[in-house]
């Protein structure tokens, strides 16, 4: 049966239990779904469907399973690894209508929510109980908790409060056959395999999340941000390691380089020193006494390591403004470049200065500027490669440059993603980090959950043959460059 016939049959079937307007089969209305937050990769779906109930999701999956049609789940569309890029052979299943906070349990410090609920909405709802949800990606005002689970998102406070995987108790999801399964539970631990952790970060390749129970944390009594400016990146990188070595775990410890500082300041007017080569934003939280003591200790460390300016927020409004600049960095850079390519790799903290220096060398080689904004405390880099897709060859150069950055992360003992996922963006770099045996194991896990391979196919895990070809090409390139 051809694709047009398959589409017509599925549209007819879906519209028997979903309102017509939420089964989208015309090209114009499908256009907004062609890509996620990363615009380099685009595609059009077979059709788009927006269910509202678990039962509808189950019926969609049963119909697609019976027809052998792939399904790609989509959240708020803020992803940065092209993980929800559509395919003309697949149904795009948008979970945006699953947007209800079901319950907040103040005593158990947990919330039960649907996957389309915005990350920030959880903390806003929990604030009345003196609680908040820890992971806070820069896109938290828009990104959904289901998408956070798919990518194992972190955010500026993940250093102290952990990634999504550390803050979720239970996930309900529909498998490829339409069965509803529950992973995890109300307790902090459970016997048997940790399938919950396996599902978090699986990028929609194992099931469709329909409900989530997250942990909530007590809102700290006091929180203050220390802004420290440095006249060179090396000193800022050393300061990051020194804070952690002193036994202080900040709520967040972020770093921005000169280009990112100027872009963010122009956009948010957060009061950043425009002439600094790098700034650190270090948030200290806890009791009043603990916060005052640690602010003093951190300030001393920064001074000893050459900080040219140190400022400590004196009000909640000032603290929020300093974070606004950091969280606005991505859109701010968008104002100074026609396009940018956002990378996501993680390295040991001690390699920060080395990697940034190597990136500057690559930047000159490719003729493309880079703005660096990253979670310095846990070594999670987010270099933004500036380019113009209207210039012939620029997109390809940016993509190659990004791949080399990820390979550099692996070379210094890091990994190719910290919180953005693999998707399509990093699939070519998977063989740089994982052996053929490890990739084969990934395929085995995928097959255990999704035997026909219908959930988000072609994302996250490379084919073994491609791994071997990639390694061969990389060896040839390395030999050529060393010669």
Taking only the tens place, the pLDDT of each residue in 11-30 is: 999 999 999 999 999 999 99
H helices, E strands: number in the chain: 17, 20
Report the pLDDT value the prediction gives residue 117, as an integer from 0 to 100: 98
* Residue whose C-alpha is closest to residue 149's, from 131, 166, 174: 166
Q: List the domain boundaries for the chain.
A: 3-94, 101-218, 222-332, 337-482
Q: Among residues 322, 419, 333, which one has the least CA distance to residue 372?
A: 333
Predicted local distance difference test score (pLDDT) of residue 468: 64
User: What's 3-94's CATH class?
Assistant: alpha beta
The CATH number for 101-218, chosen from 3.30.465.10, 3.40.1590.10, 3.20.20.140, 3.30.420.10, is 3.30.465.10
The pLDDT tens digits of the residues spanning 88-106 come to 999 999 999 999 999 999 9
222-332 to CATH, choices 1.10.287.1260, 3.60.20.30, 3.40.50.300, 3.30.70.2190: 3.30.70.2190
pLDDT at 481 over 90: no
Of the candidates 161, 3, 152, the one whose C-alpha atom is nearest the C-alpha of residue 91 is 3
pLDDT of 143 reads 97
Lowest mean pLDDT among 99-103, 300-304, 352-356, 405-409: 352-356
Check pLDDT > 90 for residue 467.
Answer: no
Q: Given 3-state DSSP classes, what are the helix, strand and coil percentages for the chain, each rounded to the nearest 5? A: 40, 20, 35
**pLDDT reported for residue 399:** 95
pLDDT at 472 over 80: no
pLDDT, averaged across the chain: 94
pLDDT at position 53 over 70: yes
d(CA 456, CA 176): 11
Q: CATH number for 337-482: choose from 3.30.70.2740, 3.30.420.40, 3.40.50.10890, 1.10.3470.10.
A: 3.30.70.2740
Q: Do domains 3-94 and 222-332 have the same CATH topology?
A: no
Convert the pLDDT of each residue in 231-290 to its tens digit. Answer: 998 899 899 999 999 999 999 999 999 999 999 999 999 999 999 999 999 999 999 999
Q: Which candidate, 39, 52, 44, places its Cα nearest to that of 79?
A: 39
Residue whose tokens read 């947007």: 99
463 pLDDT band (50/70/90 cuts)? confident
What is the pLDDT, as a whole number, of residue 37? Answer: 86
- The whole-model pTM stands at 0.93
Instruction: For residues 157 and 163, give the distance between their C-alpha atoms in angstroms, rounded to a whole number.
Output: 9
Name the residue among 406, 354, 357 with its Cα closest to residue 382. Answer: 406
pLDDT of residue 475: 57
- 130-149 pLDDT, tens digit per residue, is 999 999 998 999 999 999 99
Amino acid 364: pLDDT: 97
Q: Would you state the pLDDT for residue 320?
A: 95
**Residue 465 reports pLDDT greater than 90:** no
Q: Judge whether residue 6 has pLDDT over 70.
A: yes
Residue 187 pLDDT: 74
Cβ partners under 8 Å of residue 354, min gap 6: 412
Confidence band of 82 (pLDDT split at 50, 70, 90): very high
The token duo for 420 is 């953005």
- Strand spans (E) along 343-430: 345-346, 370-374, 380-381, 383-387
483 pLDDT higher than 80? no
Q: Which tens digits make up the pLDDT trace of 192-238?
A: 789 999 999 999 999 999 999 999 999 999 999 999 999 998 899 89
According to DSSP, the residues that pair with 184 across neighbouring strands are 170
Query: Do 382 and 341 meet the contact criterion of CB atoms below 8 Å apart?
Result: no
Is residue 345's pLDDT more than 60? yes
Helices 233-245 and 288-304 pack at an angle, to 10 degrees, of 140
d(CA 195, CA 197): 5
Residue 192: per-residue pLDDT: 78
Calculate what percentage of the chain has a pLDDT beyond 70: 95
């Amino acid at each position: 049966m051809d694709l047009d016939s398959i589409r017509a049959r599925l549209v007819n079937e879906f519209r028997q239990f979903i309102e017509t307007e939420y089964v989208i089969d015309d090209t114009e209305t499908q256009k907004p779904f062609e890509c996620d937050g990363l615009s380099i990769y685009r595609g059009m779906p077979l059709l788009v469907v927006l269910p509202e109930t678990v039962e509808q999701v189950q019926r969609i999956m049963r119909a697609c399973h019976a027809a052998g049609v792939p399904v790609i789940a989509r959240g708020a569309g803020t992803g940065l690894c092209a993980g929800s890029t559509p395919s003309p052979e697949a149904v795009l299943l948008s979970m945006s209508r699953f947007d209800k906070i079901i319950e907040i349990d103040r005593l158990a410090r947990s919330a039960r929510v649907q996957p389309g609920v915005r990350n920030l909405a959880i903390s806003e709802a929990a604030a009345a109980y003196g609680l908040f949800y820890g992971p806070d990606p820069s896109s938290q005002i828009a990104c959904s908790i289901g998408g956070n689970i798919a990518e194992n998102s972190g955010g500026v406070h993940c250093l102290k409060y952990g990634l999504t995987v550390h803050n979720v108790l239970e996930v309900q999801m529909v498998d490829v056959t339409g069965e509803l399964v529950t992973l995890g539970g109300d307790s902090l631990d459970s016997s048997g395999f940790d399938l919950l952790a396996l599902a978090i970060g699986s990028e929609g390749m194992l099931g469709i999340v329909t409900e989530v129970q997250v942990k909530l944390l007590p809102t700290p009594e006091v929180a203050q941000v220390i802004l420290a400016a440095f006249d060179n990146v090396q000193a800022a990188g050393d300061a990051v390691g020194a804070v952690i070595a002193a036994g202080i775990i900040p709520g967040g410890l972020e770093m921005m380089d000169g280009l990112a500082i100027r872009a963010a300041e122009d956009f948010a007017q957060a009061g950043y020193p425009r002439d600094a080569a790098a700034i650190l934003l270090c948030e200290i939280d806890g009791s009043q006494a603990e916060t005052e003591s640690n602010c003093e200790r951190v300030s001393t460390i920064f001074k000893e390591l050459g900080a040219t300016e140190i400022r400590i927020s004196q009000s909640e409004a000032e603290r929020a403004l300093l974070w606004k600049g950091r969280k606005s960095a991505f859109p701010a850079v968008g104002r100074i470049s026609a396009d940018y390519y956002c990378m996501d790799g993680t390295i040991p903290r001690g390699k920060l200065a080395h990697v940034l220096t190597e990136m500057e060398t690559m930047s000159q080689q490719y003729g493309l500027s880079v703005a660096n904004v990253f979670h310095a405390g846990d070594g999670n880099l987010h270099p933004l490669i500036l380019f113009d897709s209207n210039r012939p060859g620029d997109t390809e150069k940016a993509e190659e440059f990004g791949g080399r950055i990820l390979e550099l992360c692996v070379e210094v003992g890091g990994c190719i993603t910290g919180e953005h996922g693999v998707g399509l963006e990093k699939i070519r770099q998977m063989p740089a980090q994982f052996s053929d045996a490890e990739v084969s194991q990934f395929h085995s896990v995928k097959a255990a959950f999704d035997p026909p391979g219908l959930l988000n196919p072609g994302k996250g895990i490379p084919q073994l043959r491609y791994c071997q070809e990639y390694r061969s090409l990389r060896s040839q390139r390395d030999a050529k460059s060393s010669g």
